[in-house]
Structures are given as C-alpha cells and as structure tokens.
Amino acid sequence: MKKLLLTITLFTSVIGFAQHGLDKEVSDIEAKVIEWRRDFHQNPELSNREFKTAEKIAAHLKSLGMDVQTGIAHTGVVGILKGDKPGKVLALRADIDGLPVPERGDLPFKSVAKGEFRGEEVPVMHACGHDTHIAILMGVAEIMSKNKNKIKGTIKFIFQPAEEGAPPGEEGGAKLMVKEGVLKNPDVDAIFGLHIGSAQPVGTIGYKSGGAMAAVNSFEINVKGKQTHGSMPWGGIDPIMASVKIIDGLQTLISREMPLTEEGIVLSIGKITSGVRSNIIPESAQIIGTLRTLDEGMQADIHKRMKEMVPAIAKAYRAEATIDIDEGYPITFNDPDLTAQMLPSLEEAAGKEHVINMKAITGAEDFSFFQKEIPGLYFFLGGKSPGKSEAFPHHTPDFFIDESGMILGVKAFIQLSLDYLNE
C-alpha cells in the first residue's frame, strides 16, 4: 500500500502543460527565442569576457521587472522572480560563453567574431550550443514573469559565464558563482539545467539518474632530460623517449588497473611539445592531457597511480618528470530522488515516448559544482534535424543545431518549475 501511495503522489503532482494555460505563450515566444539565439550566435564572447552578452541578458531581465544582479563571477547575471505565493526557491541555469573555434558553416548569422585566448587573437564561435541555452532561459524568464500567479515560491535565473573554463590564472564559472553566494539569499532548494545536443534528435529529452557526466581533470607532465646532438644520443638523456614511455604507461593504468565493468574512464593526451629541429635531442618535453572519470573512488585511485608512475618511468630512462593534476570539475550527479520526482514532468513536456534514459557520457560540465551544494537535475535536449544522417560534434567548426528543438527546452523548464514549486 505504501508503494501505491507513492506512485499516486508522483503521478498527481504533475499538472498537464495545457492545464497550466501556457501553450499559446510558449508557441508565441518561439520566434523571439530563435531571434535571440541568432544574435548571441553572431556575437559570441569567450569565457570571463562575456560583457556584451551579459548586458543583453540583464537588460531583458530588468525589462521583465525582476531583481537583477550583475557582475557575479565576473560577468554572470542573476534574475530573481518571486511568485505571488510563498514557497521553495528553485534555480534554472544557462551557460553563456563561446569557444576559440572558427565557424565553417554558411549560416546567415555566422560568427566572424574575434577574441583573445592565451595571448593570441582567435576566432570565436558558439560551438557548444550555449547561445541556445541563453535564449531558452530568456524565453522561460519572460513567460514566467507574466505568470507569477502560477508560482508558489521563487525562481532564480542563473546565467553563468566561463563554463568552458576560465582563462589561465583566473577563477570563473559555476565554482566561482557558488563561492560568491549565488545559491544564497534566498537559499536555493534545487537547481535544473539543460544542454542541447547536435547528435540527439529534435523533440527528445535525455536524462540519467546518478552520475550523468564525467568528472574532468587536466594534467601537465614536464620531463627533463639532457640535450645532445641527434647523432650521439648516448651523450645525453632523451626526454622524448621518456615521454613516449610515460604516455604508453598511462594507458595501461586504464586497461590493466581500472575496474572498467563498474564505470567508464578515459585518459587522452592532447598535446606533446619538445625540441626545435631534427638533429637535436632536446633538454625537455611537455605532455598535456585530460582524464575523465565517473566514479570518485576510481578517480582517486588513478590520480595516485599517475603520480607514482610518471616519475618512476622517467627515472627508468634516466630522465626526471613531474606531474600536476588540476582540480577540474566534479561528476555531474543527478540526485536520484529529485530525478525520480521530476521524470513525470519531463515526460509531460516531451511525451513519454520522447524521453530517453541515457547512459553516462564522458563529457564534463561545471554544473556539477552547483550539484555539490544542493540537489540538481541536468538533462539533454535534442538539436539534430529530422532525417539528418550526419551530426558534427560539439567544439568543432561545423557544429550545427536545429533551432526547432529549442522550444521544447522552454516548455521543459516551465513544466519542471511549476511542478517542483507547486507540488
């Protein structure tokens, strides 16, 4: 009987979207959402440099009569909307930064923007869909601000900078927002976020209870050898050879020491730098890579083994090596109770047949810093055109999103918000 009562409670806590009386408002705002998205797409800005983006967001929220806070974590914007009745506090989050990627497509609103990254001028593109996230949340903010009578409690609209990582030497992103108190005053009870996907069909929502996205750690290895002429390798200590063996050894940590049947783990080398010409064995080498883990125990184990293995392998080849592993992002962990509670809301928004229970992915998200503090649910929104055979990956010049998928994001956020606050 107890289980039956729980089932009834979850079922009856969801009010059909049409019953909320917002179908027309959602339909009417689609053109605006697309227009906003195109403007942000054409004018992207890099992490911690989203000045004009923040100005546009703040102006929109102020026009809706919200209490607006700016300058949080450098360029973050928060709008606070109080419903007509007291209740819980819910946060909705969108990330706002672009990437140092050139856009290769021929969209009429193609980005030709430039920015500065690591001291160099670079092209800038919304190559991960953050422009759609901003526009979706702005649409939600507009509709909800006109329907405060339907809200029992408060909604915080969090527009977060630097999800892709702050520039070297700077703080930023969700971690800094939390540090500066974005989840306080008023204290947030739960948070929802979404990510659009270029390979996920339009009209679908994906979710996973528990670990949904991997923790990420970047690491840097510096190998010191002894320079010599390329014709006399015995006269020096070759840091390139030591680096090759280190890279090989790191991969055996994955294949021979990690319990891969429990959770996935990925270690990839993204850059190796050494030497200046063919006939000089150089003095040093640098290796840079990324580690993705979905289990905190496995993460701790491989960190320990990497720190043991790297200097030991270098020593075997008469070189020296140090390794630094950054703090990175935690696992994006969807609170199981909150996920179970809100699943009927996602199904109401998209249709039960269009909601997919996904496997974990090895991409990472700093939304995880919010989830370390309060229960959170992060879900995935389809952005792949119907019938399209090829989908270009995120963070690439050909990345493409079908704008017809965005309105479901608006609808899902509204359904989740009303159901959570008014349950």
pLDDT > 90 fraction of the chain, expressed in percent and rounded: 93
Please give the Cα distance from 387 to 384 (Å, whole number).
9
**What distance lies between CA 86 and its chain's CA centroid?**
31
DSSP state of 352: G
Environment class of 175 (CB within 10 Å of its CB; exposed 0-12, middle 13-18, buried 19+): buried
Domains and CATH numbers, the chain: 2-213+331-422 (3.40.630.10), 215-325 (3.30.70.360)
DSSP 228-253: EETT-GGGSB-HHHHHHHHHHHHHHH
Beta bridge partners of residue 90, listed in sequence order: 155, 190
Please give the Cα distance from 90 to 79 (Å, whole number).
12
Longest CA–CA separation in the chain, Å:
82
Neighbouring residues of 26: CB distance < 8 A, sequence distance ≥ 6: 143, 407, 410, 411, 414
Residue 101 one-letter amino acid: V
Judged by DSSP in three states, 134 sits in helix
Name the residues annotated as catalytic.
329, 403
Judged by DSSP in three states, 323 sits in strand
135-161 tens-digit pLDDT: 999 999 999 999 999 999 999 999 999
By C-alpha distance, which of 225, 250, 249, 253 is closest to 239? 225
Please give the Cα distance from 117 to 334 (Å, whole number).
33
Tell the residue number behind the tokens 């320990």, with chain if given: 304
pLDDT number for residue 13: 57
pLDDT number for residue 389: 82
DSSP state of 185: T
- The token pair that represents 291 in the structure block: 């580690």
State which residues of the chain have pLDDT below 70.
1-13, 18-19
| Beta-strand runs (E) in 74-151 | 76-82, 85-95, 114-117, 120-123
By C-alpha distance, which of 137, 185, 186, 126 is closest to 160? 137
| Beta-strand runs (E) in 104-231 | 114-117, 120-123, 152-160, 190-201, 205-207, 210-213, 215-224, 228-229
The total number of residues shown for the chain amounts to 423
Neighbouring residues of 165: CB distance < 8 A, sequence distance ≥ 6: 47, 172, 173
Judged by DSSP in three states, 58 sits in helix
